[in-house]
Chain A
C-alpha cells in the first residue's frame, strides 16, 4: 500500500477551496484513500471528515491509498498539493 508525506503550503490550509479540490480529486479514484494529520485520520473523499482534521497552513499530512488505482491516486493528490492547489 503506497504512502506519501506532504506539507500543505496554501494560505488557508486544507479548508475552503483547497479542501474541495482535494476531496474532488480523491473522489475520481476507486481506491480507498486515507489522509492523516497528527492523530486524526480521515476518508480523503469526505469533505466533512477532511475539514475536521483542522489542517492549517504549514501542516504536514500523510496520505495512504489502497486499490486498483492507488499509485495514480497518490500521484494526483501529490501534484495537487505541490502545485499549491493550482495557485503556483
Chain B
C-alpha cells in the first residue's frame, strides 16, 4: 500500500483498477534521408489521416458535449494545415535532408514554446493543442495510432501524465470512475471534465504517478487530494464505507441545494457564490447560490492592452447583477498590484509586493483606473441588488478616502443625468490584521464586512501560503485566525452590521461549524461546494456550533482543530 498526494480537483471517492493511459513515449530520432519527395508524400498521407480523425473527434464531441467543446478540434485542424508550420517542415526536409518526423516534431515544439513564452492562459492552452495535433500526426507517421482509450473495457480509474481533449474524447465515459494525473491544476482540462461528469479527480500528483501500474487497485480521494495504490483489506473496506457514505451525502446535498441554509434550531445564514465573470452565473444558480458574495472584477482587465471603459464595465456588471434579480451580487473593486500584474497599467516593481501598493491602495492613487469602475458600478446597480466591496482596506482613513471618491462619482453621474443606485450597500474586505483589530471603528463606516481568509491568514501568521513548508501555518485553521474572525464578527454585530466570508475557508466543511458558531452571516464559496455546505448547515444546530467554536478558540494548532472538528461534528465528513 502506497499513498500519493496531489490537488483535489473534484469531490468524491472512487475505487477501481487503474487504467494507465500511456501512449508509449514518442521517441523521435533524426534520420538522414535521400528522397525528400517521398518523405513529403508520407507527411501528406499522415496529415490526411489526422484530418479524418479530427473530423471524427469533432463529431463525437459535438454530440456528447456541444459545439463549443468540439470547436477545439477545428482549431487543431487549422494548425495542421498552417502554412508556416507546413512551410518550415518542407524547408527542413528539403534543405537538411532529414526525416519528416524530426522536422515536424521540432517545428511544432518551437511554436509551442513561443506560445508558452507569452505567459497567457489562453495561449498556453494553444501550446497544448499544437503539441496534441503534432503528436497525433507523428503517431500516424510512425504507425502507432492505436488509440490507447480503446483498451478501456471495464470501469476503471484513468491514470495519465495529463489528458488532452484528444485523449478524453475517445474515452467511454461509462467506464470512467475517476482520474489521477501527474500534471495540471484545478482548472486543467481533466479537472473541468471530472467536475462536469461528477466523478472524483486528483490532479498534479507529480512523478509519483509513475509508480502506478496497469490494473493496480486504486482509491482516488477527491476530497483530500489523495490516491492510495493497492490499499490493504482493512483500508479498502474503510474507503468502501466512506464511498457509500459520500454517495448518500451527495444525493442528499443535491436534493436540498435550492432550500435555505437553516440550522436545526432555526438559525438562517446565506450561502452564496464566488464568481469570476459572467460565465459563473449559470453554475452558481444551478448549484443553489442565494446570490454572489464575491464577484471578482479582474476578468475585465486581463488579457487586453488597455483599460476597460466605463461603458464596457457597466454592461458587464449590469448583466450579472440583473441575472440574479433580487438576490445580492457583491462586486469587489479591482484587486491588482503586488504579485498580480497588468502590463498596460505599468506598475513599478516592488521588493515585497504582498506588502506594497495593492488593490485599494493602488486604486486610491490612480483615479483614472478607479473612477470609471465606481461610476460603472453605481450605474449598473440601479434596479437590482448590486453591492460594492473594497479589497485590502487597512485603516479607517482608507474607507473615508474611498467614500469620498465614490460620492464624487455619484455627484458627477447625477449631474450628467444618469440614474444611479442611491441605496447601494458598501462593504470592505477584512484581510489585513489591522482592519480586524479596528473592526469596531470600521463597522461605523460601512454596511458590511467580508472576511478574506486567504490573505488574513498569511498576514496574521507571517506565512506565505504558496510556500509548502509553512502551508499549515497559512491554512487559516489557526486559533489566532479564528480569534480574529470572532473579533470582527462581534464588532460588526455590535453595530448591527452583517459579516460574510469569501476565502477558501467558507467552502471547507471542517470550517463551517466553527464559522457558524462564531456568528458568521454569509458564506461565499465556489459553486460546487454550495450543496454540501447547505446540507451541513441544515444538519447541525447553532447551539452545537457555538460550543464547538468556543472550544476551537482554545486549541493550539491546525492539526488539533481539524481532529477535534471531525470528532465533534461527524457531519463534516463527506466520505
Contacts and interface: CB of A to CB of B under 8 A. Distances in A.
Contact of A56 (B71, B75, B111, B304): B304
Interface string A30-63: 0000000000000101111101101011110000
A13 interface: yes
Interface stretch (B80-88, B147-155, B403-411): B80-88
B84 A58 contact: no
Given A16-B122, A51-B123, A56 B82 contact: no
Contacts of B120: 54
B305 A47 contact: no
Contacts of B118: 52, 54
Main secondary structure on B side of the interface with A: helix
A39 to B, nearest CB: 13
A49 B87 CA distance: 12
Given A15-B122, A52-B115, A54-B120, A47 B78 contact: yes
A20 interface: yes
Contacts of A49: 82, 84
A23 interface: yes
A76 B118 CA distance: 29
A84 to B, nearest CB: 13
A12 interface: yes
Interface residues of B, number: 22
B264 interface: no
A51 B306 contact: no
Given A16-B122, A51-B115, A52-B118, A57 B84 contact: no
Given A13-B303, A56-B304, A57-B304, A45 B83 contact: yes
B224 interface: no
Given A15-B122, A20-B78, A58-B304, A52 B85 contact: no
Contacts of B304: 13, 56-59
Interface in B293-336: 303-306
Nearest to B86: A46
Nearest to A45: B83
Main secondary structure on A side of the interface with B: mixed
Q: Which of A12, A16, A48, A49 is packed against the most chain B CB atoms within 10 Å? A: A48
Contact of B83 (A16, A46, A54): A46
A58 B111 contact: no
A46 B130 CA distance: 13
Interface in B114-158: 114-115, 118, 120, 122-123, 126, 130
Nearest to B84: A46
Contacts of A46: 82-85
A52 B122 CA distance: 11
B169 interface: no
A41 B50 CA distance: 29
Contacts of B85: 46, 48
Given A20-B78, A43-B84, A47-B79, A56 B123 contact: no
Interface string A55-88: 0111100000000000000000000000000000
Contacts of B83: 27, 43, 45-46
Interface string A1-40: 0000000000011011100100110010000000000000
Closest 10 interchain pairs by CB? Answer: A46-B84, A58-B306, A56-B304, A57-B304, A59-B305, A56-B305, A58-B305, A47-B78, A48-B111, A52-B114
Given A13-B304, A52-B118, A58-B305, 18 more contacts: A12-B122, A12-B303, A16-B122, A46-B84, A47-B78, A47-B79, A48-B84, A48-B85, A49-B82, A52-B111, A52-B115, A52-B123, A54-B123, A56-B303, A56-B305, A57-B305, A59-B304, A59-B305
